[in-house]
Amino acid sequence: MILFINFKIIKTQILPIKSVGVQGDARSYRHPAVLFDYPKNWKELNKIATQITNRFAEVNRVLIALSPNEKQEFASIQTEISKERVKTLQLADKIVHDKVSDAGLIEKIWQFPVVLLPITNNGTDEAIVLRPVDSQEAMTASFSHIPFELLAEITEELLELPGISCVFFDITNKPPGTIEWE
Tens of pLDDT along 135-145?
Answer: 998 888 999 99
Which pTM was predicted? Answer: 0.93
> What top-level class would CATH report for the domain 2-170?
alpha beta
> Distance between CA atoms of 111 and 158, rounded to whole angstroms?
19
How far is Cα 176 from Cα 51, in angstroms, rounded to an integer?
A: 12
Phi–psi pair at 123, nearest 5 degrees: 95, -20
According to the model, what pLDDT value does residue 23 have?
76
Q: What is the pLDDT of residues 26-38, one digit of tens each?
A: 888 999 999 998 9
pLDDT score of 10 more than 80: no
Condensed to tens digits (0 to 9), the pLDDT of residues 108-165 reads 999 999 999 999 999 999 999 999 999 998 888 999 999 999 999 999 999 999 999 9
Q: Which ranges constitute the DSSP H helices of the chain?
A: 42-55, 83-102, 148-158
Q: For strands 26-36 and 59-67, give the pairing.
A: parallel
Asked if 64 and 45 touch (Cβ cutoff 8 Å), the reply is yes
**86 pLDDT more than 90:** yes
Q: Residues 175, 25: contact at Cβ < 8 Å?
A: no
